[in-house]
Structure 1
Amino acid sequence: MAMLATSSASSKDTVERLRKELRQWERPTSEVPQHDAISTGIAVLDDVLPDSGIGAGEIVEWQTERGGAWLLTMLQLRAVLTARSAGMAVVIDDAKTFSPVAAMLLGVDLDRLIIVRSKSANQAVWVMEQCLRCSGVVAVCGRLGAISETSARRLKLAARTGGGVGLFFRDESRNRQRTGSWSDIRWRVEPVAVSSNLNDFQNAVAGRRLRVELVSCRTGRAGKTVEIDICDETGLVREAPRVAPATGQESFPLSNRRRQTRSFQRTG
């Protein structure tokens, strides 16, 4: 079950409690793998990245104005936990909107999850930095607003020190302030309306289509955009068809799990 840390006590007491909980997972920094690529959890997105994934100690940012970033962040978190068999993940929930049940349904291992509910956005950034510095943490996930260049650099340094990855999503509809590109990898996510004459989903509620753009990455190879279909019933993902199905082509009923398995790739 996910562990929950609140901010009812002082910040010092909270940090000390987290350190005790994470101590059993700590390992020497020299043992942290620095070069093995970690999948995004979605094969078509791995193909876009130069190293077919993300590296240990890197910061990944998901931006959106109309939704979808949280879901992809959770799929990435699941992939990190799968790739790193030892260590805990920390979710910073300053808005108090994180649902452990929803994360579990997407395949996130709650036994390796610590949820921290901070009092403010500023405190959330401070907690992110402290957790990223801990070698027992494989991933830190949370919502980011506008932060200073100094705070951004401190987050990057903390991730390099601890060897875990920072997975942050930013809701641009709530924060219009322009921010610089400081993340190692930055994605932009937009929902895409599926025309009713396309046979991809018979039930619009059970599936969604997202357009994902690689805005920037450490090697400068950016600008590529892909569209993916996500089945909310099963958590399976596929690259969206580039053309409409031909007349008479077999439909894709979401209730038929065998057909889903052929049409979708698992995200893990």
Structure 2
Amino acid sequence: MNPASLHPLLWRGKQVTHRIHTLSTGHASLDEALPGGGWPTGAVTELVNAAPGCGELSLLLPALARLSRKNRWIAMIDPPWIPCPAALHDRGLALEKLLLINTSNRNESLWACEQIVRGISGGAMLTWPGSLSFSELRRLQLAAKHTRQSIFMFSDQTAAKASSPATLRLQLAANDGDLQISVLKCRGRRPVSGIRIRRSQLLQPMPQSIPDAVKSGPLPAASAELPEISPQGSRNDQLSL
């Protein structure tokens, strides 16, 4: 049988069936375990952790810093803490490209997610929604595909066994101060566990001149001005499903 005739999402060992656009995570051991060698762009990555503060933001900072230095917007929606600007700057993040958004309820959070996905091309959105239904998450997944935006959604431990349309799902846990990672779901490769990233690596300062780590060509151009996220509906409206 011709492998090209198989369904593009069918897992075939180490052979990835379709081209995957990725952004290096900045961590060699994690890149090696992920299809395409990094975070999928134009997709949702779900990060499942027992409690905030295990190193989840530090895990993402190398990739976020690279995007911000390429004039891409980084949006954080409803983080459980206030990010430290000095620490973000030390890790290479261009603070002028950071959008911090706090909402007052679940409907506003969903509304903000949709507007950011529509208004930013090629950047990244981090969101802490508490919980999303399968259909709500699928809506974000489809929207991200059209804008080539990377969406990182943080979920609690109860979501680990639930079905999810996210392209990539990782489970994070603290282990003697280091970060332990298990791949729960990925496209094009068998899930793995036991990936360990040392705390010293997570906290390592980034150089101010950061090379391009996008493996599939340049991202779409982004405006130097604040992105346009004018609503197409009321803030009280949920994602149109």
**Fold in common (TM above 0.5):** yes
Of residues 79, 83, 89 in structure 2, which corresponds to 1:104? 89
* 1:185 and 2:168 matched: yes
Kindly provide the amino acid, as one letter, of the partner of residue 216 in structure 1: K
Q: Distance in 1 between matches of 2:44 and 2:175?
A: 26
CA distance 1:179–1:75, shift in 2 (3 Å): farther
- Closer/same/farther in 2, CA of residues 149 and 49 from structure 1, 3 Å limit: same
**Contact between 2:24 and 2:63, CA under 8 Å: does it hold in 1?**
yes
| Alpha-carbon distance, 1:129 to partner | 1.9
**Shift in alpha-carbon separation, 1:41–1:120, aligned structure 2, 3 A:** farther
| SS in structure 2 at match of 1:73 | helix
Q: In structure 1, what is the equivalent of residue 190 of structure 2?
A: 221
2:113, 2:149 → 1: CA distance? 11
Report the TM-score, using the length of structure 2 for normalisation: 0.67
Task: Supply the AA of the counterpart residue of 2:86.
Answer: V
Q: Distance in 1 between matches of 2:181 and 2:80?
A: 25
- Partners of 1:38 and 1:160 lie apart in 2 by 14
Amino acid at match of 2:167: D
Structure 2 alignment gaps of length 5 or more: 1-18, 207-212, 214-241
Deviations 1:114-162 (A, max 9, x none): 1111112332222112211224451111213221122111111110121
Within 1, Cα distance between the matches of 2:29 and 2:73? 27
Structure 1 partner of 2:116 = 131
Which residues of structure 1 form unaligned runs of 5+? 1-33, 194-207, 238-267
Percent identity between the two aligned chains: 24
Counterpart for residue 4 of structure 2: none
SS in 1 for 2:190: coil
Give yes or no for contact 1:132–1:164 (8 Å, CA) kept in 2. Answer: yes
Residues of 2 paired with 1:52 and 1:64: CA distance? 22
Identify the match of residue 60 of structure 2 among 68, 73, 81: 73
Query: Which residue does 2:199 correspond to in 1?
Result: 230
1:94-173 to 2 correspondences below 5 Å: 95=80, 97-136=82-121, 138-172=123-157
Asked if the contact 1:41–1:79 (Cα under 8 Å) also holds between the matched residues in 2, the reply is no
Q: Which structure would you say has the larger RCO, counting Cα contacts within 8 Å and 6 or more residues apart?
A: 2
The question of whether the paired residues in 2 share the 8 Å contact of 1:60 and 1:168 is answered with yes
Aligned residues: 187
Q: How far is 1:79 from its partner?
A: 4.0
Residues 94, 124 of structure 1: 8 Å contact kept:
no
Alpha-carbon deviation of 1:210? 1.5
1:92 to partner: Cα distance = 0.9
